């Protein structure tokens, strides 16, 4: 059912100011018209005040680092990037500072809004980048070798993708190994190879390929070579509190090119944060080392991390200090292979890394607490030898809820388990998809390592005081679950609060032991149940989880295999444990009867959320439009705002909203806007999920 917007016009007493900023100042095209701007240098010398809006226009080429300390309670500073002029910060290679491209280290009470599209689509609005996103300068394609060899010749320590960090100048491809390279080789520079160095491709015998030679390096779209920059920070936000960073794109802080390409871990930081009451949401982070910080009441949601070493890291290493709660949900984290170092154990990749210790040892007074990690999707190639875990909980992480996550480790091995550590950990309704032993060996050797590097460890390694592990689906791996005798720090013995209703598929590999209980392999589900005490679990030698989507196939033993946890999540906060009452796609789980195991319900019924209820529009004398609406009657629904300017086609301006209000500050006085509100279940949703739009409302801004 469609609902008519109600329009409420209210005039605020105070007239807030809007300031426009461009690189050099003067009259520029911005916000749909010609604006008088101050220069970025003038802005940086000022102390922006609360209640005001500051809009960046066009292409900026130097750091944003205003003075002052931000806003105050109820009187935020709004910093935003103009969408009409595709405002961005693009700094030349080698000039990106370790102190941050955007520096708000002492600021509190502000919103930084990139106004980006929320898609990795080439639109520069809200982008900060250390270099243009690069593409390989040299590629050899269509390689076939029925016999003979093909040799790629270049300088020492040459890098190849896929391939290895060659210790000799040559990479030799023979007929029996060409399939491992997927018929294509990309030749890249690294820290030991100057960009612009030439290489040759020399086939012989029965080998052939397209491209006989070329030039090493990573090309910017302009056609010039990008230079690696290791000591760079995108957003430096350490020291303030009560702020939101949303709809930004942080790109190409460092294009890591091969396993020989060493870097100064944990740089480059996409975000370095420190403080309390921080929300980082709706952003895209691509080609970076770490996002790291520490504080209380932290929300990291609806973000995309691509080509990274650590998507989200937070820790405490001081005696008698603890942080929490943390809400980490609705994120996608994909591809870490380019950050492999070529040496087992030298650095490591994690999607989420939480750590709490003092001087490298467990300390009972030092911990992170009340962590909610749910509806996240871990996928892509994470590399053959440097992965620790998709979620790595190191030492004293307590009161943890991990549910509705998709852990896809089918592109390469997860070295030491998908989830590790935790105290009082709840691991519910997750789906975990691994890799076969043969597939793991093929991938490891394709990257130039010996098959012995394929340890293909357990899909999960968990050990926790009061561990609850229910309603999960494990499929395809040598070892499916491993439960250790102690927590990750080795200081607290594992005790089981609940272990039941899990579904295991297609495990065992050559060793034939799909389970491991406190260091002892178990070859049958009965042996596992005797040792662990698990009840109501199921084992199937056949996988019935669809690759890619990780949905359940028809007839899967996971359908109806779960225990009903409605009483656990019903009435609980969302964000938080209340989200468990819906699946990964936002479909409600039943209040009675059995649940499906895994993150995604099996129902083939088309699921459409209720339309947004009556929506209210508040207009102030300052140029902004405040939108609010009543909650949908279905749990797990998100909202998107679409806008038309003066009759132009509708454009998505905000997505991923779980709150029931949002303020459009990218408006111009005297302009007509038309809004629509879309209710939807959060992506990636399966094909049976639909969205629904509200009716349109017309607004004459701020008059």
Task: Give the pLDDT confidence of 568-602 residue by residue, as tens digits.
Answer: 999 999 999 999 999 999 999 999 999 999 999 99
Is there a contact between 282 and 655 (Cβ–Cβ < 8 Å)? yes
Residue 307 located in a structural domain: no
| More reliable by pLDDT, 451 or 297 | 297
Asked if residue 592 and residue 636 are part of one domain, the reply reads no
Q: pTM, whole model, 2 decimals?
A: 0.76
Asked if residue 158 and residue 42 are part of one domain, the reply reads no
Residue 331 located in a structural domain: no
Share of the chain above pLDDT 90, in %: 46
Distance CA 276, CA 75 (A): 17
* DSSP 3-state of 582: strand
Residue in 250, 289, 288 with CA at minimum distance from that of residue 266: 289
Mean pLDDT of 323-345: 82
Q: Which two tokens stand for residue 353?
A: 């890394």
Q: 201, 219, 237 — which closes off a domain?
A: 219
Domain hosting 40: range is 20-131+222-294
Asked if residue 170 and residue 122 are part of one domain, the reply reads no
Residue 311 located in a structural domain: no
Residue 644 located in a structural domain: yes
Distance CA 262, CA 264 (A): 7
Q: Which two tokens stand for residue 252?
A: 């190409």
Lowest mean pLDDT among 214-228, 247-261, 269-283, 507-521: 214-228
Q: What is the DSSP letter of 685?
A: P
Mean pLDDT of 614-636: 65
Asked if residue 405 and residue 499 are part of one domain, the reply reads yes
* DSSP 3-state of 229: coil
Mean pLDDT of the chain: 78
Residue 444 located in a structural domain: yes
Residue in 351, 441, 344 with CA at minimum distance from that of residue 385: 344
Asked if residue 368 and residue 282 are part of one domain, the reply reads no
What local confidence, expressed as pLDDT, does residue 702 receive? Answer: 67
Distance CA 464, CA 332 (A): 26
Asked if residue 95 and residue 155 are part of one domain, the reply reads no
Q: What is the CATH number of the domain that holds 679?
A: 2.60.40.10
What local confidence, expressed as pLDDT, does residue 636 receive? Answer: 63
Return the top range by mean pLDDT from 89-98, 174-183, 261-270, 305-314: 305-314
Is there a contact between 352 and 379 (Cβ–Cβ < 8 Å)? no
Greatest pairwise CA separation for the chain in angstroms: 83
Asked if the peptide bond before residue 594 counts as cis, ω within 30 degrees of 0, the response is: no
Residue 496 located in a structural domain: yes
Question: Which secondary-structure segment (H or E) carries 442?
Answer: helix 437-446
Residue in 674, 695, 703, 680 with CA at minimum distance from that of residue 615: 695
Is there a contact between 597 and 472 (Cβ–Cβ < 8 Å)? yes
Asked if residue 69 and residue 154 are part of one domain, the reply reads no
* DSSP 3-state of 524: coil
The structural domain count of the chain equals: 4
* DSSP 3-state of 130: coil
User: Can you count the helices (H) and strands (E) in the chain?
Assistant: 4, 58
Which residues of 404-472 form beta strands (DSSP E)? 406-408, 419-420, 423-428, 431-433, 460-462, 467-470
Residue 303 located in a structural domain: no
Query: Is residue 197 pLDDT above 60, yes or no?
Result: no
What local confidence, expressed as pLDDT, does residue 163 receive? Answer: 35
Q: At 218, phi and psi to the nearest 5?
A: -115, 125
| More reliable by pLDDT, 519 or 606 | 519
Asked if residue 545 and residue 465 are part of one domain, the reply reads yes
Q: Which residues contact 573 (CB under 8 A, 6 or more apart)?
A: none
Asked if residue 405 and residue 266 are part of one domain, the reply reads no
| More reliable by pLDDT, 679 or 245 | 245
Is there a contact between 286 and 120 (Cβ–Cβ < 8 Å)? yes
Q: Which two tokens stand for residue 520?
A: 């002892």
Tell the residue number behind the tokens 């090309």, with chain if given: 219
Return the top range by mean pLDDT from 192-201, 358-367, 640-649: 358-367
pLDDT in tens, 519-530: 999 999 999 999
Asked if residue 85 and residue 213 are part of one domain, the reply reads no
Q: 163, 192, 219 — which closes off a domain?
A: 219
Q: 547, 581, 603 — which closes off a domain?
A: 603
**How many CB atoms are closer than 10 A to CB 94?**
12
Question: Counting beta carbons within 10 angstroms of the beta carbon of residue 208, is it exposed (0 to 12), middle (13 to 18) or buried (19 or more)?
Answer: middle
Asked if residue 240 and residue 202 are part of one domain, the reply reads no
Asked if residue 411 and residue 381 are part of one domain, the reply reads yes
Q: Which residues contact 580 (CB under 8 A, 6 or more apart)?
A: 374, 401, 403, 404, 428, 429, 565, 568, 569, 572, 589
Residue in 36, 137, 29 with CA at minimum distance from that of residue 83: 29
Distance CA 532, CA 431 (A): 21
Question: Which secondary-structure segment (H or E) carries 525?
Answer: helix 525-532
What local confidence, expressed as pLDDT, does residue 611 receive? Answer: 58
């Amino acid at each position: 059912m469609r609902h008519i917007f109600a329009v409420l016009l209210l005039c605020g007493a105070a007239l807030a100011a809007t300031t426009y900023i461009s690189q050099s100042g003067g009259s520029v095209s911005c916000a749909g018209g010609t604006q008088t701007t101050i220069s970025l240098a003038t802005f940086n010398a000022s102390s922006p005040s609360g209640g005001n809006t500051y809009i960046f226009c066009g292409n900026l080429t130097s750091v944003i680092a205003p003075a002052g300390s931000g806003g105050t309670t109820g009187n935020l500073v709004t910093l935003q990037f103009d969408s009409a002029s595709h405002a961005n910060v693009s700094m030349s290679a080698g000039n990106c500072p370790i102190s941050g491209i955007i520096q708000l280290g002492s600021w509190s009470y502000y919103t930084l809004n990139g106004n980006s599209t929320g898609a990795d689509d080439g639109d520069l609005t809200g982008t900060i980048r250390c270099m243009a996103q690069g593409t390989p300068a040299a590629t050899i394609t269509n390689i076939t070798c029925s016999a003979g060899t093909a040799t790629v010749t270049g300088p020492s320590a040459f890098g190849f993708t896929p391939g290895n960090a060659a210790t000799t100048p040559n990479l030799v491809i023979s007929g029996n190994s060409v399939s491992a390279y997927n018929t294509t080789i990309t030749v890249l520079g690294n820290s030991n190879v100057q960009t612009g160095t030439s290489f040759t491709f020399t086939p012989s015998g029965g080998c052939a390929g397209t491209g006989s030679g070329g030039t090493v390096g990573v090309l910017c779209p302009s056609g010039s070579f990008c230079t690696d920059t290791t000591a760079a920070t995108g957003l430096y936000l350490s020291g303030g509190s009560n702020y939101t960073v949303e709809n930004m794109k942080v790109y190409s802080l460092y294009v890591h090119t091969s396993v020989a390409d060493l870097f100064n871990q944990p740089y480059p930081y996409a975000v370095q944060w420190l403080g309390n009451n921080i929300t980082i949401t709706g952003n895209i982070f691509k080609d970076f080392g770490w996002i790291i910080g520490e504080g209380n009441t932290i929300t990291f949601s609806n973000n995309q991390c691509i080509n990274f070493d650590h998507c989200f890291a937070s820790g405490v290493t001081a005696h008698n200090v603890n942080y929490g709660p943390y809400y980490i949900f609705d994120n996608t984290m994909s591809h870490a292979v380019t950050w492999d170092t070529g040496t087992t154990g030298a650095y490591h990749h994690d999607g989420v890394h939480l750590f709490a210790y003092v001087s490298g040892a467990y300390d009972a007074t030092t911990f992170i607490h009340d962590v909610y990690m749910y509806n996240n999707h871990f996928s892509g190639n994470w590399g053959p030898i440097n992965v620790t875990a998709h979620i790595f909980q190191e030492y004293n992480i307590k009161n943890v809820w991990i549910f509705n996550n998709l852990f896809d480790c089918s592109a390469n091995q997860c070295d030491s388990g998908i989830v590790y550590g935790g105290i009082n950990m709840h691991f519910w309704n997750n789906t975990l998809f691994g890799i076969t032993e043969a597939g793991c060996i093929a991938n490891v050797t394709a990257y130039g390592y010996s098959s012995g590097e394929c340890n293909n460890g357990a899909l999960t390694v968990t050990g926790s005081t009061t561990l609850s592990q229910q309603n999960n689906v494990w499929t395809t791996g040598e070892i499916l679950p491993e439960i250790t005798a102690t927590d990750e720090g080795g200081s607290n013995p594992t005790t089981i609060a609940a272990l039941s209703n899990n579904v295991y598929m297609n495990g065992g590999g050559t060793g034939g032991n799909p389970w491991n209980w406190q260091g002892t392999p178990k070859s049958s589900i009965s042996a596992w149940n005797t040792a662990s005490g698990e009840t109501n679990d199921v084992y199937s030698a056949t996988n019935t989880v669809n690759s890619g989507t990780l949905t359940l196939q028809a007839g899967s033993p996971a359908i109806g295999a779960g225990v009903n946890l409605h009483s656990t999540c019903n009435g609980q906060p969302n964000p938080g444990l209340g989200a468990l009452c819906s699946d990964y796609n936002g479909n409600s789980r039943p209040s009675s009867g059995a649940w499906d195991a895994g993150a995604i319900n099996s129902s083939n019924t088309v699921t459409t959320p209720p339309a947004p209820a009556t929506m209210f529009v508040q207009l102030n004398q300052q140029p902004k439009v405040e939108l609010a609406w009543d909650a949908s009657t279905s749990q797990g629904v998100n909202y998107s705002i679409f806008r038309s300017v003066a009759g132009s086609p509708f454009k998505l301006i905000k997505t991923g909203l779980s709150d029931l209000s949002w303020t459009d500050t990218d408006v111009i006085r005297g302009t007509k806007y038309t809004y629509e509100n879309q209710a939807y279940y959060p992506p990636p949703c399966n094909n049976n999920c639909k969205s629904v739009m509200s009716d349109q409302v017309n607004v004459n801004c701020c008059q």
